[in-house]
Amino acid sequence: MASSRQKRIRNFCIIAHIDHGKSTLADRLIEKTGTLTQREMEAQVLDTMELEKERGITIKAQAVRLIHTDENGQEYILNLIDTPGHVDFNYEVSRSLAACEGAILVVDATQGIQAQTLANCYLALDHDLEIVPVINKIDLPSARPDEVKQEIEDIIGLDASDAPLISAKVGLGIEEVLKTIVEKIPCPSGDEEDPLRALIFDSYYDSYKGVVCYVRVMEGSIKPGTKIRLMATEKEYEVAEVGIFTPSLLNTQELKAGDVGYVTASIKNVRDARVGDTITEAERPAKEPLEGYRPAIPMVYCGIYPADGAKYTELREALEKLQLNDAALVFEPETSIALGFGFRCGFLGLLHMEIIQERLEREYNLDLVTTAPSVIYKITKTNGEVIDLTNPTNMPEPSEIDYMEEPIVKASIICPTEFVGAVMDLCQEKRGTFKNMEYLETTRVMLHYVMPLNEIVYDFFDTLKSRTKGYASLDYELAGYMQSELVKLDILLNGDIVDALSQIVPKERAYQKGRAIAEKLKDIIPRQMFEIPIQAAIGSKIIARETIRALRKDVLAKCYGGDITRKKKLLEKQKEGKKRMKQIGTVEVPQEAFMSVLKVD
Amino acid sequence: MNSLYVHIPFCIKKCLYCDFNSNSDLNLQDAYVEALIKEIRSLDYDEFNTIFVGGGTPTILNLKNMEKLLKELMKFNSKEFTFEANPGTITGDKIKLLKEFGVNRISMGLQAWQDRLLKKLGRVHDLNDFLFSYDLIRKEQFNNVNIDLMFAIPEQSVEDWIETVDNVLKIKPEHISCYSLIIEEGTPFYKMEMEGELKVVDESDERQMYYYSVSKLNSNGLNQYEISNFSMNGYECKHNITYWKNKEYIGVGSGAHSYENGFRYFNIRKTDGYIKAMANGSAVEERIKITKNDEISEYMFLGLRMIEGINKKDFEERFNLKVEDIFQKEIIKLERQNLIINDKSSIKLTPKGIDLSNQVFLHFLME
């Protein structure tokens, strides 16, 4: 039974396909409830990272407490939890959902249901959330709200007949959304007197407070001085501070069952207060932790090296700092013959990888050489030993390998019927196995495929978008491992294997890939003073060869009327270009070459 | 002061490959020459060892303007006084005037012996125009004449180039410059190349052409003294040597560059802008301080253009440092790559080093 205090609380999140207006609706709700004044508002107010605003995506979860007064003068506390919107962060999303009783499902009135709409919706249903559909962008001339309502009913099976029709952009219908939240979303329950159980749904490191845990208190209460235990990591701390999000942190006396807020306890590392863990009292612990905890598991690995070898220590320090705040980032030192000292880093997915790279380059001003990302292959050796391969260089001799497995995903793609052929061709090229196809309506279908993760980690989504004129949407989830015929493809420059260019490829594509990579490298590596053979090899067998001809001439044009400055600038530019290259043996290789091996078909 | 460069930005028509500072606004010539003279009079020097009047096409000026300009320049008592004279703009009267006012070296742009290539380049003259002008110049007793030639012209064959070099040798110029055509951004040629309309000469033909000129000219008494320049003994262009030895000079006229008291600076490039600015006293657009490191870098990449290379003693006297103190590592590497010859008194490019001169110069750029 909910207490009278709890009856005036609603905890909810907003779920949507990318660009359907999730962050804009959050902005409007914050504005409408007067949580922030107009002056304090800025677009995507909950996306605090520069990168989030730039890319229009949410990477970290955020929370904000809204105070809504209904027409009878009754005040409600609405805790909005903004979740990341990318498949890389699916686990984080699931924890945020677990902190809520309901979700607002935002659907674009023109585009209708998309792959992520469905995926997020199912995720919310898994957590028994009450889903409240909202039709957004109805101000656009192309809006077709009635059809979209029908889609929601037909495809998801939700009653959308009284779904608010809104435009978050122009601020239309926001009041109605607030009303619907209060009416439709259940209030929290949970006994305030029970032993404490609080779910950590996100955390970040603050250099003054230590780790700030975002929590939802399920049962019991927590206040400064409470001795707490983290049930997964089994660490104990004393609470220093609790509070709520306004959205900036506001210190309060206590958090009780049903509340969303933050807890600090001089925790030194986000690894000690992991997302999904349960906080309980040390002296009166709960019997069971909350369900659903799992440690973050990296899915994709790549080598990250400083372009300037002397910056190795700086790179390590930067990774350590990022790791303070990112329990999913793992790294360990590795040495490449070609690239020197660097790190093998593991990420949740490609977006996560790109974000870390970009932050290293921007926030820590590092110039990086990144190798092509690789998934984790499982190798069963003839002696029965099973190893996880994260770096192609470490692949055992073929004679020692019994069989290999690669990770696969279940992918669902929604697209208009006219692009079905194009999508099927693409999935086929990417070694996909067709499962089935459903008609969502007469003009749109959803295709289900099982595909190797390796095939979608790089540019699958971009290619899908371009082959369907932007109409297709994609969602995928991991679906275990599958046995595959795989080989290690090596690249030799000037006769020597460049370890940083090796990759694992399906056997039947090896020849084609080898040729394509050799051709690509021929274009990317500039001519040098001697001839450079490029070879692709499997084991000792050369399967492709290209030659970069020796540079025969590099002379400046006529220097006229004493314009020395211009000549010098040209030379300096040339030298700058050279400096950005990696010296491998006697060959100078541009940094982009290491990623380029992935971009061939 | 060593040298004075005088820029005349006018041309009848811009050649298709040209990215120098030139235009066809000939109606500006009176005002321009007036501004130029104002700038020349403002100089703090009484003498220049060499003067070079270049362009554009200096001989496009009318007689009146040419005379006004020459009068100013004559005062400087130069030992070498060069005037660029382009076929198609030269008349007997103009040549006489040049002689009368002390010009003692003429530089002519021929580029190619074949009319079809001249047309391709967008030149305003044909071979006959050139021969006629050359004759006029020789008749006025000019005994120091340079001819500019160009190789790697689109559609030029190695045979075309051999024909050009051989025929030019027959008319016995004292000096020849041979430049490989470089397609510069912003020129019509650049656009044509981008659109695939230009049949560029491939690299191996280009090098063959270059090697031919070097061996043919050297064996005919025109010695190579710089990557692109050849002359009879004693007829090296002293003006250009000022640049290559990284000595100071003054440039006047639109877009002209100067190197004076440790600064490089240059004038406004546009003709009308220059005229306006000079009316207010100065047309300098930007001044750049040359640090010691800049100076050393420039000394190296300019000096190495000369076949004799850089003189170690000269380096030491100028910088109070041995060249090896700064570039020990680079010198060893380049020597090992057979790009330079490092002997007791000098460092110079090998033939391979000439082909890849930029690759050598890069090593001598200091931060």
Contact between chains at B259 and A562 (C-beta distance less than 8 A)? yes
**Count of other CB atoms within 10 angstroms of residue A506:** 16
Question: pTM for this one?
Answer: 0.73
Q: What residues of A are in the B interface, CB distance below 8 Å?
A: 529, 551-565, 567-568, 571-572, 574-575, 578
Q: Are B259 and A578 in contact (CB < 8 Å)?
A: no
Q: Are the beta carbons of B174 and B235 closer than 8 angstroms?
A: yes
Give the residue from B3, B304, B356, B360 with the most A CB atoms within 10 Å of its CB, the best one to mutate: B356
Residue A23's pLDDT band, with cuts at 50, 70 and 90, is confident
What letter represents residue A483's amino acid?
Q
Please report the pLDDT score of residue A309 as a whole number.
86
Q: How far is CA A559 from CA A93, B123, B176, B182, in A?
A: 62, 20, 16, 12
Residue A55 has pLDDT above 60, yes or no: no
What's the confidence (pLDDT) of residue A20? 85
**Confidence bin at A51 (pLDDT 50/70/90):** low
Q: What residues of chain A lie within 8 A of the CB of B255, using their CB?
A: 561
**Inter-chain residue contact A568 with B298, CB threshold 8 Å:** yes
- Please answer yes or no on whether A571 and B356 come within 8 Å at the CB atom: no
> Among B7, B249, B359, whose Cβ lies nearest the Cβ of A554?
B359
Q: Which among B179, B206, B337 has CB closest to A553?
A: B206
Identity of the residue in B243, B259, B359 whose CB atom sits nearest the CB atom of A529: B359
What span, in angstroms and rounded, lies between the C-alpha atoms of A380 and A140?
56
Identify whether the C-beta of residue A199 lies closer than 8 Å to the C-beta of residue A292.
no
Residue A236 — pLDDT band, cuts 50, 70, 90?
very high
Give B-chain residues touching A530 at CB under 8 angstroms: none
Query: CB B362 to CB A575 under 8 A?
Result: yes
Q: Do B256 and A561 touch (CB under 8 A)?
A: yes
How many cross-chain Cβ pairs, A to B, lie less than 8 Å apart?
89
- pLDDT-based confidence at residue A404 (cuts at 50, 70, 90): very high
Residue pair A63/A93 in contact (Cβ under 8 Å)? The answer is no
Q: For the segment A64-97, what is each residue's pLDDT rounded down to a tens digit?
A: 899 999 888 899 999 999 877 666 777 788 888 9
Phi, psi of A434 (to 5 degrees): -70, 135
Contact flag B7-A561 (C-beta cutoff 8 Å) = yes
Which one, of A578, A565, A492, A500, lies nearest residue A535 by Cα? A492
What span, in angstroms and rounded, lies between the C-alpha atoms of A512 and A241? 60
Q: What pLDDT shows up at residue A296? A: 76
pLDDT beyond 90 at A419: yes
pLDDT of B101 above 60 = yes
Instruction: Say yes or no for a CB contact (<8 Å) between B251 and A555.
Output: no
Euclidean distance between CA atoms A339 and A590, whole angstroms: 12
Residue B345 neighbours by CB distance under 10 Å: 11
Under a CB-based contact definition with an 8 Å cutoff, are residues A215 and A201 in contact?
yes
List residues in chain B touching A: CB distance below 8 A.
5, 7, 20-21, 54, 177, 179-180, 182, 184, 203-204, 206-207, 227-228, 243, 246, 249, 251, 255-259, 264, 266, 288, 294, 297-298, 301-302, 337, 354-359, 361-362, 365
**Is there a contact between A565 and B358 if contact means CB atoms under 8 Å apart?**
no
Quote the pLDDT of residue A94: 83
Instruction: Report the mean per-residue pLDDT for chain A.
Output: 88
Q: How many angstroms separate the CA atoms of A444 and A446, rounded? A: 7
User: What was the pLDDT predicted at A472?
Assistant: 83
Q: Tell me what pLDDT residue A113 has.
A: 87
Q: State how far the Cα of A409 lies from the Cα of A392, in Å rounded to an integer.
A: 21
Taken in order A466, A467, A470, A473, the sign of the CA dihedral is: negative
Q: How many other C-beta atoms lie within 10 A of the C-beta of residue A324?
A: 17
Domains and CATH numbers, chain A: 6-184 (3.40.50.300), 197-281 (2.40.30.10), 300-371 (3.30.70.870), 378-484 (3.30.70.240), 488-598 (3.30.70.2570)
A340 sits in which H/E element? strand A340-347
For residues A173 and A176, give the distance between their C-alpha atoms in angstroms, rounded to a whole number. 5
pLDDT of A34 reads: 77
Q: Residue type at A567? A: K
Whose CA is closest to A274, among A361, A216, A199, A186? A199
Whether A249 and A212 have beta carbons less than 8 Å apart is answered as yes
Q: Could you tell me if B323 and B347 are in contact, meaning their C-beta atoms sit under 8 angstroms apart?
A: yes
Separation CA B8–CA B57 (nearest Å): 6
Which of A366, A348, A319, A322 lies closest to A591 in space, CA to CA? A366
The DSSP 8-state label assigned to residue A392 in this structure reads G
Q: What pLDDT is recorded for position A566?
A: 87
Question: Do A565 and B203 count as a contact with CB atoms less than 8 A apart?
Answer: no
Among candidates A529, A557, A559 on the partner chain, residue whose Cβ is nearest the Cβ of B243:
A559
> Rounded to the nearest 10 degrees, how much is the dihedral formed by the CA atoms of A7, A13, A16, A19?
120
Determine the distance in angstroms separating the CA of A210 from the nearest CA of chain B, rounded to an integer: 43
Residues of chain A above pLDDT 70, percent: 94
**C-alpha dihedral, B243 to B352 to A498 to A534, nearest 10°:** 120
Interface test with B, best of A549, A564, A573, A575 (most B CBs within 10 A): A564
Asked if B257 lies within 8 A of A556 by C-beta distance, the reply is no
What gap in Å lies between CA A262 and CA A211, rounded to an integer? 10
Of B258, B264, B301, the CB nearest to A571: B301
Any residues with CB less than 8 A from the CB of B327 and at least 6 apart, and which? B300, B363, B364
Across the interface, of B203, B228, B302, the residue whose CB is closest to A564 is B302
Tell me what percent of the residues of chain B surpass a pLDDT of 70: 100
Binding site listing of A: 19-24, 136-139
| CA atoms of A267 and A504, how far apart (whole Å) | 40
- Residue in B with minimal Cα distance to A579: B362
Exposed, middle or buried by CB within 10 Å (0-12, 13-18, 19+), for A442?
Answer: exposed
Q: Which residues contact A7 (CB under 8 A, 6 or more apart)?
A: A187
Reduced to 3 states (helix: H, G, I; strand: E, B; else coil), residue A198 is strand
Smallest CA–CA separation between A579 and chain B, in Å?
Answer: 11
Q: For B50-81, how does the pLDDT look when each residue is reduced to its tens digit (9 = 90+)?
A: 999 998 899 999 999 999 999 999 999 999 99
pLDDT for the residue numbered A516: 93
Q: Hey, what are A480's tokens?
A: 């275990």
Determine the average pLDDT of the residues in A249-256: 93
Task: Indicate yes or no: CB of A557 within 8 angstroms of CB of B356.
Answer: no
User: Residues 6 or more apart from A527 whose CB is under 8 A from it?
Assistant: A548, A549, A550, A551
**pLDDT class for A441, splitting at 50, 70, 90?**
confident
Q: Is B359's CB within 8 Å of A552's CB?
A: no
Residue A1 pLDDT greater than 80, yes or no:
no
- A463-491 pLDDT, tens digit per residue, is 888 888 777 888 888 889 999 999 999 99
Computed over every residue of chain B, the mean pLDDT equals 95
Coil, strand or helix: which one is B243? helix
Q: Least CA distance to B179: which residue of chain A?
A: A558
| pLDDT-based confidence at residue B185 (cuts at 50, 70, 90) | confident
How far apart are the C-alpha atoms of A215 and A229, rounded to whole Å?
14
* Helix (H), strand (E) at residue A181: helix A174-184
Percent of chain A with pLDDT over 90: 55
In this structure, the number of other CB atoms found within 10 A of the CB of residue A192 comes to: 17
Long-range contacts of A481-487 (CB under 8 A, 24+ apart): A481/A378, A481/A405, A481/A406, A481/A407, A481/A408, A482/A405, A482/A406, A482/A407, A482/A408, A482/A450, A482/A452, A483/A403, A483/A404, A483/A405, A484/A404, A484/A405, A484/A406, A484/A452, A485/A404, A486/A377, A486/A404, A486/A406, A487/A398, A487/A538
Answer yes or no: are the C-beta atoms of A94 and A82 closer than 8 Å.
Answer: no
Q: Is B202 exposed, middle or buried (0-12, 13-18, 19+ CB in 10 A)?
A: exposed
- Partners of B17 on chain A (C-beta within 8 Å) are none
Closest Cα in chain B, distance from residue A599 (Å): 26
Q: Which of A50-54, A297-301, A577-581, B83-87 is least confident?
A: A50-54
Phi and psi dihedrals of A416, rounded to 5?
-65, 150
Residues of B in contact with A565 (CB under 8 A): 257, 264, 266, 288
| Interface mutation vs chain A, best among B22, B238, B284, B361, most A CBs within 10 Å | B361
Express each pLDDT in A561-576 by its tens digit.
678 888 899 899 989 8
- CB within 8 Å: B301 and A572: no
Q: What is the pLDDT of residue A71?
A: 87
Is 70 exceeded by the pLDDT of residue A107?
Answer: yes
Average pLDDT score over residue span A140-156: 91
CA distance A239 to B98: 95
Q: Is the pLDDT of residue A39 over 70?
A: no
pLDDT over 60 at A448, yes or no: yes
Instruction: Return the pLDDT at A53.
Output: 56
Total length of chain B: 367
Instruction: Look at A561 and B228 and tell me if their CB atoms are within 8 Å.
Output: no
Res A50: pLDDT: 61
Q: Is the pLDDT of residue A272 over 90?
A: no
Average pLDDT value for residue range B104-115: 96
SS (H, E, C) A455-505: HHCCCHHHHHHHHCCCCCEEEEEEEEEEEECEEEEEEEECCEECHHHCEEE
Q: What are phi and psi of B357, to 5 degrees?
A: -60, -35
pLDDT band with cut points at 50, 70 and 90 for residue A205? confident
Is 90 exceeded by the pLDDT of residue A422?
A: yes
pLDDT of residue A418: 92
Interface with B, mutate which of A558, A559, A570, A573 (most B CBs under 10 A): A558
- Where is B282: in which H helix or E strand? none
Q: Which pLDDT belongs to residue A378?
A: 95
Asked if the Cβ–Cβ distance from A553 to B256 is below 8 Å, we say no
> For residues B239 and B50, is the Cβ–Cβ distance under 8 A?
yes
Question: How high is the pLDDT of residue B273?
Answer: 95
**Torsion angles phi and psi, residue A553, rounded to 5:** -150, 130
Nearest to B362 among A557, A565, A574 (CB): A574
pLDDT-wise least confident of A201-215, A287-301, A537-551: A287-301
Confidence of residue A42 (pLDDT cuts 50, 70, 90): low
Condensed to tens digits (0 to 9), the pLDDT of residues A125-141 reads: 888 999 999 999 999 99
Structure tokens at A206: 């603050």
Highest mean pLDDT range out of A57-66, A497-506, B344-353?
A: B344-353
Question: For residue B222, what pLDDT is reported?
Answer: 97
Query: Above 60 in pLDDT, residue A270?
Result: yes
For chain A, what is the total number of helices (H) and then of strands (E)? 14, 33
Residue pointed to by tokens 């091996």: A597
Half-sphere exposure of B165 (CA within 13 A, CB side): 26
Closest Cα of chain B to A493: distance in Å?
A: 20
Answer for the pair A279, A230: CB distance below 8 angstroms, yes or no: yes
